[in-house]
Amino acid sequence: DWSDDEITQINKYITENLTVEGELRTEVQMSIKRLMDIVSYRGLRHRKGLPLRGQRTKNNSRTRKGRRKTVANKKKVTK
């Protein structure tokens, strides 16, 4: 188990040297916004909601695209 002194030292190190919680979320959102503002390839992929790192999108990438949008088929006219 950790002693109280060790826990305070770890907490102190984390708060002084690392970005965590809301600060980290803000930093990530700002970097994504920067990519979109400079119109880089990654920024465009973020805007379109597609994968950024070269994955194929014909069949997979459901995580980024979201649920499938079903398209109705046209009925064939029989003569």
The pLDDT tens digits for 36-46 are 999 999 999 99
Q: Decide if domain 4-65 falls under CATH 3.30.530.20.
A: no
d(CA 60, CA 43): 21
pTM of the model: 0.67
What is the pLDDT at residue 35?
Answer: 97
Domain locations along the chain: 4-65
What is the pLDDT at residue 31?
Answer: 97
Find the Cα–Cα–Cα–Cα dihedral 59, 62, 64, 70, rounded to 10°. Answer: 90
Q: Which residues of the chain are under the pLDDT cut of 50?
A: none
